[in-house]
């Protein structure tokens, strides 16, 4: 066996994956598709890109076989080829947190209230999942909730929260969660609910991390 050729060819395939995700827009697309299937138009709107630009990034991810697509009428819908693709985002996030001081600086600059919020870990939430006095609140968009959510969670999208406060029991503890560690929906929910006298904490990570850990989920 030609060991040098073997190693070179294997590393070329690994580099295909690395090249495909070496773009901030594509990382965001993977993060969004970890919440559930989306059309090109929806992805473009969510990422503030043109449809043409979003399509180019999707094509690059598809060529690396990180995502797949299906057509329904005139619309094309994309999803992760396998949910473990999200592990790329997890790993990059963990390495960046450990090695790049800029990550902490950015978090501290933009997420100024997070330091005062008491987080809930995945393991802690798992042990309390069926606790009758706990409300698990999914503040992602309703479409994402319908495609998958933490078992037993109720849905109130962040942009509807203030108008639907009456649906939440003020005497019970609430754990709010959203898309992931750098998603701000749960932070906003904690601020709103705290201002109205609720006892609320934020899940440290998000739904994709929970699902990738093979913890209990539900779909509608």
The contacts found for 149-157 with CB under 8 angstroms, 24 or more apart, are 149/207, 149/217, 149/218, 149/219, 150/125, 150/177, 150/207, 150/210, 150/215, 150/216, 150/217, 150/218, 151/216, 151/217, 151/218, 152/216, 152/218, 153/177, 153/218
Sign of CA dihedral 47, 97, 83, 154: negative
Q: Report all structural domains of the chain as residue ranges with CATH numbers, in order of start.
A: 3-85 (1.10.10.10), 112-218 (3.40.250.10)
Going residue by residue through the chain, which has 220 residues, state the pLDDT in tens, using 9 for 90 and above.
688 899 999 999 999 999 999 999 999 999 999 999 999 999 999 999 999 999 999 999 999 999 999 999 989 999 999 999 999 999 999 999 999 999 999 999 998 888 788 899 999 999 999 999 999 999 999 999 999 999 999 999 999 999 999 999 999 999 999 999 999 999 999 999 999 999 999 999 999 999 999 999 999 8
pTM attached to this predicted model:
0.91
Task: Find tokens 């600086």 and name the residue.
Answer: 105
Spatial separation of the C-alpha atoms in residues 220 and 211, rounded to whole Å = 15
- Number of CB atoms found within 10 A of residue 145's CB: 23
Gap between the Cα atoms of 86 and 61, Å rounded: 13
Rounded Cα–Cα distance for residues 161 and 113 (Å): 19
What digits encode the pLDDT tens for the residues 57-91? 999 999 999 999 999 998 999 999 999 999 999 99
User: b/e for 107-118, b at 16 or more Cβ within 10 A?
Assistant: eeeeeeebeebe
Measured on CA atoms in the order 125, 130, 136, 142, is the torsion positive or negative? positive
Q: Which residues are catalytic?
A: 178
């Amino acid at each position: 066996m030609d060991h040098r050729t073997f190693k070179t060819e294997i590393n070329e395939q690994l580099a295909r994956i690395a090249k495909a995700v070496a773009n901030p827009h594509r990382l965001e697309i993977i993060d969004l598709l970890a919440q559930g299937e989306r059309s090109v138009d929806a992805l473009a709107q969510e990422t503030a890109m043109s449809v043409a630009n979003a399509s180019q990034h999707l094509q690059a991810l598809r060529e690396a076989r990180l995502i797949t697509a299906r057509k329904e009428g005139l619309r094309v819908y994309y999803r992760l080829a396998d949910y473990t693709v999200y592990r790329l985002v997890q790993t990059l996030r963990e390495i960046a947190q450990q090695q790049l001081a800029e990550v902490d600086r950015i978090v501290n600059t933009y997420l100024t209230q997070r330091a005062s919020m008491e987080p809930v870990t995945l393991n802690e939430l798992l042990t309390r999942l069926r606790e009758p006095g706990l409300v698990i609140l999914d503040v992602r968009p309703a479409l994402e909730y319908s495609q998958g959510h933490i078992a037993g969670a109720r849905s109130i999208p962040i942009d509807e929260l203030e108008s639907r406060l009456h649906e939440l029991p003020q005497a019970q503890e609430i754990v709010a969660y959203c898309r992931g560690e750098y998603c701000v929906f749960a932070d906003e929910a904690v601020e709103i609910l705290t201002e109205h006298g609720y006892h609320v904490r934020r899940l440290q990570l998000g739904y994709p991390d929970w699902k990738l850990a093979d913890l209990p989920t539900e779909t509608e």
